């Protein structure tokens, strides 16, 4: 699968994408201040790449390419608002490497992923969350067609304290 939006595309995760992710996990500069959860190993990701290419019925991870170069990743995983068989949706996440944030790549990648999930799964809803202070990601989600739904108080433990998160969603277009 390769989906393209201007010079931004999503492609299957590969060793180069895993190496980029692994380098990002080494510092706040690599992940960005809102995604730094401390030093993390990419060993599980390497195992997953070898086993299923980072794609499964429960979710996945794709590389983000800008002008053909690896610049980050998008992920999706199942969330449930009731019985999983009838009330599940996809939650997405994104990580861009330093130097590629703030120029529309994130919006394009999140739009591509949402469109892909609506086209290839039965999802009625795709959601994302971000720190209330992450104004750049909040804007990126809005530009990608997501609507703000509300604040999840003290939902994320990061950097030694609890952080409020903002929940966004995008619904399947009506035919």
Model confidence at 2, pLDDT cuts 50, 70, 90, reads low
Report the C-alpha gap between 67 and 93 in whole angstroms: 21
Q: Say what the pLDDT of residue 5 is.
A: 56
With 0-12 CB in 10 A as exposed, 13-18 as middle and 19+ as buried, what is 122?
Answer: exposed
**Look-up: residue for tokens 């401390």?**
38
- Domains of the chain listed by start with CATH number: 3-126 (3.40.630.30)
In terms of pLDDT, which residue wins out, 4 or 21?
Answer: 21
Phi and psi at residue 102, to the nearest 5° = 85, 15
Cα 54 from chain centroid (whole Å): 13
Residue with tokens 């409020």: 164
94-139 pLDDT, tens per residue?
999 888 888 999 999 999 999 999 999 999 999 999 999 999 999 9
pLDDT level of residue 168 (50, 70, 90 thresholds): very high
d(CA 77, CA 136): 22
pLDDT confidence tier of residue 6, bands split at 50, 70 and 90: low
pLDDT tens digit string along 63-95? Answer: 999 999 999 999 999 999 999 888 999 999 999
Report the predicted TM-score, pTM, of the whole model to 2 decimal places: 0.89
Two tokens, residue 5: 């939006």
Asked if residue 97 lies in contact with residue 71, where contact means CB atoms within 8 angstroms, the answer is: yes
Average pLDDT, rounded, for the chain: 90
Query: What is the rounded CA–CA span in Å between residue 155 and residue 152?
Result: 6
């Amino acid at each position: 699968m390769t989906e393209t939006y201007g010079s931004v595309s999503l492609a299957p995760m590969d060793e180069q994408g895993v190496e980029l992710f692994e380098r990002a996990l080494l510092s706040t500069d690599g992940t960005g201040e809102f995604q730094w959860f401390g030093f993390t190993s990419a060993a599980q990701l390497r195992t997953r790449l070898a086993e299923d290419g980072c794609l499964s019925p429960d979710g996945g991870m794709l590389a983000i390419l800008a002008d053909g170069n690896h610049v980050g990743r998008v992920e999706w995983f199942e969330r449930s608002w009731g019985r999983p068989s009838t009330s599940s949706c996809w939650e997405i996440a994104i990580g861009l490497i330093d130097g590629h944030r703030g120029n529309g790549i994130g919006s394009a990648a999140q739009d591509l992923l949402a469109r892909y999930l609506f086209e290839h799964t039965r999802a009625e809803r795709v959601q994302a969350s971000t720190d209330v202070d992450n104004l750049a990601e909040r804007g990126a989600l809005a530009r990608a067609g997501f609507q703000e739904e509300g604040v999840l108080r003290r939902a994320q433990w990061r950097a030694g304290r609890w952080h409020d998160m903002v929940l966004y969603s995008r619904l399947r277009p009506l035919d």
